[in-house]
Amino acid sequence: MSRDRKPADARDHASAAEVVECFRYESSLLGKLAFLITGDQAAADQSVGKACEMTLRGNTPFRDWLLEWAKVATITSAISQRAEAIRSYEPAYKDQRCTHVEHLGQDDAEERAASLNLLLQADSRKLIAEIDPLCCAILVIRVAIRSSIQDCVLRLNVSRAAVLAANCLAMTRLQDLHLKSLEEDHDVSPVRTAEAPPAHEEIYGFASSGPE
């Protein structure tokens, strides 16, 4: 280590009280992200609680990164609860390909903030009734914590091909939300970028055998 480099000041790390306050203050945001992944309010609340506990027990995050840390911890906790169900949809994307190069890039800070705002304002129950758990998990990961395709592969433990195909649908749904927002704000005609898949009969009412 360079002599001029000093260890991070402990005062830069969030205190236990600040961690608890962050999770409490941002409970609505964190709960919605967890709900989009779990499809169940009780499971979502449990995910947020476990994420807070993990943060308190582990290495204390930097104060400036606390919210990002809380989002990552919450999403990780939610994925762990629905991992089997999420992975069960991998075969559904076996023969699908994404031809949209723009779906692979990372937006700038302003665009990312706008995308997250659209996701948070969307009707969660309607959204997760329209797309499967794998697609919804990728949508949350890509938008909320700006994960790359490879990061999605590692977090969800599914193939890169499946992530690319599910990401294509996820980004299409995000574009649909954007167009809907424009329609409501500026009274423009809605334009669909892709046909919607059949709606699930219940919110994440998974069959034991997985998707058909």
In a domain, 210, yes or no: no
pTM score, whole prediction? 0.76
Residues 129 and 188 in one domain: yes
Residues 105 and 172 in one domain: yes
In a domain, 2, yes or no: no
Query: DSSP per residue over 50-86, as a string?
Result: HHHHHHHHSPPPBGGGHHHHHHHHHHHHHHHHHHHHH
In a domain, 3, yes or no: no
In a domain, 38, yes or no: yes
Among 62, 82, 102, the domain boundary falls at 82
Residue range 199-209, pLDDT digits in tens? 443 344 433 34
CA distances from 205 to 105, 130, 133, 199, 201 (A): 32, 12, 10, 11, 7
In a domain, 39, yes or no: yes
Residues 63 and 157 in one domain: no
CA nearest neighbour of 161 among 169, 175, 149: 149
Domain that residue 172 falls in: 88-193
Residue range 10-68, pLDDT digits in tens? 568 999 999 999 999 999 999 999 999 999 999 999 999 999 999 999 888 999 999 99
In one-letter notation, the amino acid at residue 99 is: T
Residues 30 and 92 in one domain: no
Residues 109 and 172 in one domain: yes
Residues 134 and 189 in one domain: yes
Residues 111 and 187 in one domain: yes
In a domain, 20, yes or no: yes
In a domain, 110, yes or no: yes
